[in-house]
Amino acid sequence: MKPALAIKGLGLRYGRTWALRDCSLRLPAGSVIALVGPNGAGKSTLLQLITGLLRPTEGTVEVFGQDAGAGSAEALAQVGFVAQEHPLYQGFSVSDLLRMGRGLNLHWDRYLAERRLGELGIPLAKRAGSLSGGQQAQVALALALAKRPALLVLDEPLANLDPIARRDFMRAVMTAVAEDQITVLMSSHVIADLEAVCDWLVLLKDGTVQLAGAIDDVLDGHRMLTGPRTGAEPSMPGLVRVTHSERHIDLLVRTGPDRPDLHPTWRSQPVGLEELILAYLERPRETVR
Amino acid sequence: MIWFTWRQHRAQAFAGLTLVALTALTFLSYGHVIRGAYVDDGVGPCLRQDTGGDHCQSAMTAFMDRFNGIANHLSTWFSPLPGLIGAIVGASLLAREYEQGTWRLAWTQAVPRVRWLTIKILLVGAGIVAVTAALSAVFTWFRGPVDQVSGRFAPGAFDLEGLSLTGYTLFAFAAGVLAGLLLRRTVPAIVTAFAAFMAVRLPVEFWLRQHYRAPVTRLLPPTVNYSRGPRSVPTTPGTRPWVLDQGLVDKSGHPISPALAEQISRRAFGGTAEGDAHLRELGLHLKVVYQPADRFWTFQIIEAALFVGLAAALLGTTLWLLHRRSS
């Protein structure tokens, strides 16, 4: 399939520290991709490189074949972005913001934006600053979607929203996915937010990609092995995490052809997404590379 | 982009127009008073007759005593104004976007950021030119009669009339834009831009400006009135020039000794004519080093070019940094 995003050897350095390094990804069009990682992992950096807000120190980002680093009007036009804390011009009315979007974009679906906001009961005459946090997030999303982007990028869209606003926001995103088949890339550090809607996973930690793939494949590719505790530190290929308990030892492993046969006393179980992600995030830094 | 720029800066535009309107209202009404006095005191004819004599001396002294103070207060009040206007408006271009996080909204629409900033600079810059040119026009009209006497090189005149006010404001504006990019905070950007403005503006006024062209030196018949500051009778014919230095010299052109100067200033003369005659008997001359009044526009153009050139350099740097910076 033609990739929505092709990222090769991407890196960004601030002074002497690398916020992101050696990042290579191919993300399929039409998917809803979760970008997961702890705070400071480089999620916002990666998203700002994809939206052209940051210029890479090394490597390239292509969005549907367009170089995002160039920051050209065509490249900007195909990415809709809702930044962290969904910034809006607080003094602008909602209709001012829509007029701004119409003036600053190559494509603009005015009807779509007005319909979405109308359905949510957000008055166009109101100043952005006087709207609730959930409404501001919806306005920011409507602005991003009215561009008719091929890729929608959402940076921590659900942070600072109450549960109802979260549900409404995700509902609006999923409606757009269903209606327009757009590709969505959204970051969060709350895994539960993403599990229900995402079909792809990118796991970022310490500025490098730990894991990337379709969620089904990732879950199929991992197993939790439980066996009797022995004194020796277990070692086997594809070992992600070891957990010791009183009598048992739990091994989270990547399945593969080279996996050795296990003693029949060991049990093998599938892994949940949240557990899997936590296992990767908990790995000590030195084993990362 | 035009509507967007207008929507973002319309409050500043209204504030600028209000400032022009209030200034015009205040100074045009008071300007009529000055014009009336200028005619009634007969200042105009005195100026046309060169040095005029004692009658003109007192007429002009009275006129300047009355109005020179207010005309020069104008420069005290309004000198920092271009720096403030420019810094505040300039800082709002980038610092406000960074401070409120809206740069991430603005630069993910389909207008590349360098183009976005270029258009904003051009439109807001045009607004600044319009407002400052209007202010300059008001000041020029208001100061007109006083300028006839004291010349347009007087600090209150040169800095507010002609092109200089516009040049200063554009320079402070450019400093505000660049400071906003570097500091990303509105208030620090305003403070930095204003400090940078003063750091350039003051040395130019007090040191650099007099060197734009080589000054003219003249030896004139001596007079005891030369040291009376702005109220003294013009010592050169025509509109008063910008006198850089003047003093009594002896036959060989050397400045007179402090002892002799002391002696002359202590001595009470029956009138200006008697004093002047005494100086002639001593064989003294008045040496004046000055920039002629007709160089006003040359100096204005040089000064404006200097500040507009600096502004262009700062804005060019800003656009270049914005293009290549990673955030």
Cβ contact B110–A73 (<8 Å): yes
CA-based nearest residue to B213, from B309, B300, B308, B310: B300
How many inter-chain contacts (A to B, CB under 8 Å) are there?
83
Domain boundaries, chain B: 2-213+296-326, 216-294
Task: Encode pLDDT of A252-270 as tens digits.
Answer: 888 766 666 666 777 888 8
Alpha-carbon distance values, A80 to A47, A142, A143, A146 (Å): 11, 10, 8, 8
A interface residues, B as partner, C-beta within 8 Å: 12, 14, 48, 51-57, 71-74, 76-77, 79-81, 83-85, 87-90, 92, 96, 99-101, 103-106, 140, 143, 147
Quick one: pLDDT at residue B54?
Answer: 66
Cβ contact A71–B100 (<8 Å): no
Neighboring chain B residues of A99 at a CB cutoff of 8 Å = 3, 7
Q: Which of residues 164-223 of B touch A (CB under 8 A)?
A: none
Which string of DSSP letters, residue by residue, matches A32-75? EEEEE--TTSSHHHHHHHHTTSS--SEEEEEETTEEGGG--HHH
Quick one: pLDDT at residue B237?
Answer: 57
Is the reported ipTM for this assembly greater than 0.90?
no
Name the residue among B8, B106, B112 with its Cβ closest to that of A71: B112
What tokens does A106 get? 């190559």
Quick one: pLDDT at residue A138?
Answer: 94
Crossing angle of helices B54-78/B2-40, nearest 10°?
160
Please state the rounded mean pLDDT for residues B178-182.
96
- Nearest chain A Cα to B96, which residue? A89
Neighboring chain A residues of B112 at a CB cutoff of 8 Å = 71-73, 76
**Side-chain-side CA neighbours of residue A260 (13 Å):** 8
- Who wins on pLDDT, B79 or B193? B193
Say if B104 is an interface residue toward chain A (CB within 8 Å): yes
- Nearest chain B Cα to A105, which residue? B110
Q: How far is A158 from A164, CA to CA, in rounded Å?
A: 11
- Who wins on pLDDT, B17 or B248? B17
Quick one: pLDDT at residue A129?
Answer: 94
Name the residue among B3, B101, B325 with its Cβ closest to that of A85: B101
Cβ contact B1–A105 (<8 Å): no
pLDDT band at B327 (very low <50, low <70, confident <90, very high): very low
- B3 C-beta neighbours (distance < 10 Å), count: 13
Q: What average pLDDT does chain B have?
A: 85
Number of alpha helices (DSSP H) and beta strands (DSSP E) in chain B: 12, 3
Quick one: pLDDT at residue B123?
Answer: 97
Quick one: pLDDT at residue B231?
Answer: 41
Please state the rounded mean pLDDT for residues B198-222.
88
Q: At residue B74, does pLDDT exceed 80?
A: no
Q: Which residue ranges in chain A fall short of pLDDT 70?
A: 1, 231-234, 256-263, 285-289
CB-based burial, A191-226: b 16+ in 10 Å, e otherwise: bebbeeebebbbbbbbbbbbbbebbeebbebbbbbe
Q: How far is A154 from A145, CA to CA, in rounded Å?
A: 11
Cα dihedral angle (A180, A181, A185, A188), rounded to 10 degrees? Answer: 80
Please state the rounded mean pLDDT for residues B280-302.
87
Please state the rounded mean pLDDT for residues B102-121.
94
Quick one: pLDDT at residue A242?
Answer: 83
- Nearest chain A Cα to B116, which residue? A104
Best probe of the B interface among A54, A96, A102, A104, by most B CBs < 10 A, is A104
Amino acid at A7: I
Distance from CA of A288 to the nearest CA of B (A): 26
Most confident among B77-81, B210-214, B224-228, B245-249 (mean pLDDT): B210-214
Cβ contact A53–B1 (<8 Å): no
Task: Encode pLDDT of B11-55 as tens digits.
Answer: 999 999 999 999 999 888 888 888 888 887 777 777 766 555 667
Distance from CA of B94 to the nearest CA of A (A): 13
Best probe of the B interface among A100, A160, A187, by most B CBs < 10 A, is A100
Strand partners, A205: A208
Please state the rounded mean pLDDT for residues B163-189.
96
Quick one: pLDDT at residue B277?
Answer: 80
Cβ contact A103–B113 (<8 Å): no
Quick one: pLDDT at residue A195?
Answer: 80
Q: How far is B141 from B27, CA to CA, in rounded Å?
A: 9
Cβ contact B104–A100 (<8 Å): no
Strand partners, A169: none
Cα dihedral across residues B141, B146, B150, B156: positive or negative: negative
Distance from CA of A185 to the nearest CA of B (A): 15
Quick one: pLDDT at residue B78?
Answer: 81
Best probe of the A interface among B10, B93, B96, B104, by most A CBs < 10 A, is B104
Q: At residue B268, does pLDDT exceed 70?
A: no
Say if B10 is an interface residue toward chain A (CB within 8 Å): no
Cβ contact B102–A87 (<8 Å): yes
Quick one: pLDDT at residue B192?
Answer: 97
Name the residue among B2, B8, B109 with its Cβ closest to that of A105: B109
Name the residue among B105, B112, B327 with its Cβ closest to that of A54: B327
- Nearest chain A Cα to B100, which residue? A87
The percent of residues in chain B predicted with pLDDT above 90, rounded, is: 46
